[in-house]
Amino acid sequence: MPPHSSHRVIYVAIVANAAIAVSKFIAALFTRSSAMLAEAVHSSVDTGNELLLLFGMKRSARPPDKLHPFGHGKSLYFYSLLVAVYIFGIGGGLALYEGISRLRHPELATHLFWNYIVLAIAAVFEFYSWLVSYRVLNSRRVGGESLWRQILASKDPTVFTVFLEDSAALVGITIAFLGIFLGQVFHSPYFDPAASILIGLILAGVAILLGRESGALLVGEGAPDIQVDAIRRMFETDPAVERVGDLLTMQLGPDEVLLNADIQFRPGLSVQQLESTIDRLESRVRQAQPTIRRVFLEAESLRGATRSEYPPQAV
């Protein structure tokens, strides 16, 4: 994917959610709808989250330095984890609090026409933002991989975070509409706050999922299996390689992977042949897998009696 694709997803989501949040707050002020207020808070939190992701993207793009020799790519995972916490704590918490408070002191919403207008406008904006993130996420699918599997395997939290937020927003809009509509039809003040509580539970569920995925990336999740298998096959087909041991990978950022390969070379290779082989393998890995930025090859055949003569090579 072009490097600007993730930025486009974020920018579209920021503009859409900011416009939606303002309109929802205005509608909630006039109609006193608990569900509409929950949705306004939801959109506001989403806007703040996307700004936080954008900041994380800029921080992660900083070059390596003395304190961070492998770069700052994981900064993005840290900020995406904060997004999950904010969704849960602010978005879900306030929606649940508002819904429970209104259940204890129920009152019918007024000026419902404006609620429906705002929800319709919000649905249009949210669907467009959702469509942009869906297309980017879908374009990264490999083979017959399902969209859900792509979300779980994705190493770019910006795209799947916006996609899940927008999906939750569309579901929330539907629930808010049903809460307001059913309350109007049955003249009951309980449907509206019940919708607010459901929206809060949905936000909590999304937050838990995002927290799990971002947390796994932050603590050192490896590269996808399909990428590791391709590297193993590449090494095994090289004429100078006798056996391939462990291939250890770590995701340093959405487009940056560290690889440590345990390789046993064929006996009888000279130092020059070994150096040439290592250079060739490194070049093949970088050409076939551009996201692998750092490669460390450990020569197994050089251990034991020959260790002092030929020390392990690292690239």
Q: What is the pLDDT of residue 314?
A: 45
Check pLDDT > 80 for residue 251.
yes
Q: What is the pLDDT of residue 120?
A: 92
Q: Model pTM?
A: 0.80
Tell which phi-psi region holds residue 261, choosing left (phi > 0), alpha (psi between -120 and 50) or beta.
beta
Q: What is the pLDDT of residue 300?
A: 63
Same fold yes or no, 5-218 and 225-306? no
Which of 85-94, 181-190, 305-314 is predicted with the least confidence, judged by mean pLDDT?
A: 305-314
Alpha carbon of 156 to those of 109, 112, 118, 171, 174: distances in Å?
Answer: 41, 40, 32, 23, 28
Q: 141 or 128: which carries more pLDDT confidence?
A: 128
Q: What is the mean pLDDT of residues 207-230?
A: 90
Instruction: Say which CATH superfamily domain 5-218 falls into.
Output: Cation efflux protein transmembrane domain (1.20.1510.10)
Domain boundaries, the chain: 5-218, 225-306
Q: What is the pLDDT of residue 268?
A: 84
Identify the CATH class of 225-306: alpha beta
Q: What is the pLDDT of residue 2?
A: 44
- The winner for highest mean pLDDT among 40-49, 87-96, 185-194 is 185-194
Sequential DSSP letters for the chain? --TTHHHHHHHHHHHHHHHHHHHHHHHHHHH--HHHHHHHHHHHHHHHHHHHHHHHHHHHTSPP-SS-TT-STTHHHHHHHHHHHHIIIIIIHHHHHHHHHHHHS------HHHHHHHHHHHHHHHHHHHHHHHHHHHHT--TT--HHHHHHH-S-HHHHHHHHHHHHHHHHHHHHHHHHHHHHHHT-SSHHHHHHHHHHHHHHHHHHHHHHHHHHHHTT----HHHHHHHHHHHHTSTTEEEEEEEEEEEEETTEEEEEEEEEEPTT--HHHHHHHHHHHHHHHHHH-TTEEEEEEEEGGGSGGGTTTSPPP--
